Structure 1
Amino acid sequence: MRVYVSADMEGITGLVDADDVQPGGRDYERGRALMAEDVNAAVRGAVRAGATEILVNDAHGPMRNLLPEALHPAARLVRGKPKRMSMLEGLTAGHDALVCVGHHARAGALGVLSHSFMGHEIEDMWLDDRPVGEIGLVHATAAAVGVPMAVLTGDDAACAEATEWDPSVATVTVKYARDRFAAELRPPGQARRAVEEAVVAALAAPPVAPTAPPDGPVDLTVRWQSASVAAVLLDIPGVTAVDARTVRARGALPGLYRQFGVWMRVAASLTGRPPYC
């Protein structure tokens, strides 16, 4: 069994603030250690369930948060950027399951460190007119590759979002949002045991077929904070305007997911503001 782990940081046990998850933040070094512990709990669960190959992708920010020496030796690590497939770099149809560790709710949700890919720069996103954030787009893209999302860990808002998107995904709530930068925390040991046991149970069960995206192309619509970002994106073939700050493109996943990565690189080059404000 081949297991793929997409590791984000905002939904990690104990983390609540930008200083916990951004390089240079006063608690970032501690945050990256906590991230490794949550990831290792998932890896232990995969090993117990019989995984013969585990690939972990560091999917947060600079994508250099996990220290290789801190990672469980049963896993290989994809680290650094740019990556054409970003949060899903290295995922192939040969993987049997996707495990998302430390993920967070979409922009506008009252979840810990909630946002959609770029902090304040992306105000809203829709996939075929359905509100979507990182969880939904990662789920749909993995499904297009042919891999089911088996487990997702994060705060209660992220877990509710995953369940709304696909009730078959097993979720582990490691903290409960009090506000965007505040949470009630589960004890770390308890949370990590829950992550490990959820992964064991999900991977040991009969495999669930991935929820297939709609046949043919889908629409991805993004509303930006800045009209200048939307205007520049219109120079990319296939990108059309919905209004002054909103653009849309139609295509098949995972290709459309890769194109969205280009949109974010364009937006980053035009803004340069910190992702949480």
Structure 2
Amino acid sequence: MKIYLSSDMEGTAGVVDWEQCRPTGPDYPYYRDLLQREVNAAIEGALDAGATQFVVNDSHGRMANLRPDELAGGARYLSGRHKPLYMMQGLDASFDAVFFVSYHGSMSACAATLSHTYNPLAVAEVRLNGELAGESAINALVALGHRVPVALITGDRTTAEELSPFCPGARAAVVKESVNRFAADSLHPQQACELIRDQAREAVRALRERDESVRRLPAIALPATLTVRFRNPDLAEMATWITGVRRGGAGETDRDDPTMVTLTDEDPIRLYRTFVTVVLLTRGIAE
């Protein structure tokens, strides 16, 4: 059994500040180690249940946060920036399941530690088929395209709840309760890893037992529509330079909103690529 693991960092138990997630921060080495332990806990739990192959796509920041020689399970390590499929680079139909580890809530979510949706300087909100979507739901488009179920997500409770409408069968390891965007009540790191290990084990065990609730593909109707609200109209205007991106929202009330754009496609992977292109293009003017 082959597991694809996409790791972020803001969802790690104990992480509540941007400086803890940035290589320039004085405490980054410590929190980087906590992330490594949570990633390994997910791998170890999957190993216990019979998984045999792992690919870890480092998806946070400069995407080089983990120590390859310390990854459990002989996992392959996909790292580095400017990946064509970004947080989902390396996934294909040969995998049996997707794990999202140390994920965080969307920019417009209530009580989500270090909330953002790809680029906090540009993106204010994203909706997928009308439902509020964080990075996990947007990334699930690629899983759907390759027909691979999302079996596990770890992070705070808000993050788990945001994914649920799109991947109701995914196991959730809630390692912290967000108080607000910069505060959280976290499990002890050891307990967080134990919880992640247990949920990963149960997810893979359910897959091996052909539990249909876990084996379900992401519940995203096609053609799918992403509606993106930017922080100002200039960013929305720039996004429309990309073919297939229309100015305004998807509903009657926001159709003429100058801060919004709409993307629709029957191919979920192509839709994701277009979204990532929008994010990368608008990043230049936002920063």
- TM-score class, shorter-chain normalisation, is over 0.9
Matched, 1:231 2:231: no
> Quick one: distance in 2 between partners of 1:71 and 1:13?
19
2:258 to 241, 244, 264: 244
Shift of 1:212: 4.7
> Quick one: distance in 2 between partners of 1:245 and 1:158?
25
SS of the equivalent of 1:267 reads helix
- Where does residue 167 of structure 2 map in the other structure? 166
1:218 to 219, 224, 228: 224
**8 Å contact from structure 1 (residues 172, 195) kept in 2:** yes
> Quick one: distance in 1 between partners of 2:181 and 2:128?
24
Matched, 1:3 2:15: no
**8 Å contact from structure 2 (residues 58, 78) kept in 1:** yes
1:1-277 to structure 2, matched below 5 A, reads: 1-109=1-109, 110-205=111-206, 206-207=209-210, 208-215=215-222, 217-242=223-248, 243-251=257-265, 252-272=267-287
Change (3 A) 1:178 1:213: closer
> Quick one: distance in 1 between partners of 2:191 and 2:95?
29
> Quick one: distance in 1 between partners of 2:65 and 2:95?
24
Change (3 A) 1:104 1:64: same
**8 Å contact from structure 1 (residues 144, 213) kept in 2:** no
Shift of 1:45: 1.1
SS of the equivalent of 2:268 reads coil
* Residue identity (%): 34
> Quick one: distance in 1 between partners of 2:41 and 2:159?
19
**8 Å contact from structure 2 (residues 53, 73) kept in 1:** no
- The CA deviation string for residues 118-145 of structure 1, in whole angstroms up to 9 with x for no partner, is 1242111111222211121122331222
> Quick one: distance in 2 between partners of 1:244 and 1:187?
45
> Quick one: distance in 1 between partners of 2:274 and 2:244?
10
User: For structure 2, which runs of at least 5 residues remain unmatched after alignment?
Assistant: 249-256
Of residues 235-244 and 85-94 in structure 1, the stretch that sits farther from structure 2 once superposed is 235-244
Shift of 1:56: 0.4
- The CA deviation string for residues 244-266 of structure 1, in whole angstroms up to 9 with x for no partner, is 21111211211110111111111
Shift of 1:271: 1.9
The number of residue pairs the alignment matches comes to 271
> Quick one: distance in 2 between partners of 1:185 and 1:130?
28
SS of the equivalent of 1:119 reads coil
**8 Å contact from structure 2 (residues 10, 114) kept in 1:** yes
**8 Å contact from structure 2 (residues 54, 73) kept in 1:** no
User: For structure 1, which runs of at least 5 residues remain unmatched after alignment?
Assistant: 273-277
SS of the equivalent of 1:263 reads helix
- Where does residue 275 of structure 1 map in the other structure? none
User: Aligned-residue CA RMSD in angstroms?
Assistant: 1.4
> Quick one: distance in 2 between partners of 1:257 and 1:166?
17
Change (3 A) 1:196 1:3: same
Using structure 1 for the length normalisation, give the TM-score: 0.93
**8 Å contact from structure 2 (residues 10, 16) kept in 1:** yes
**8 Å contact from structure 2 (residues 166, 220) kept in 1:** no
Of residues 9-18 and 161-170 in structure 1, the stretch that sits farther from structure 2 once superposed is 161-170
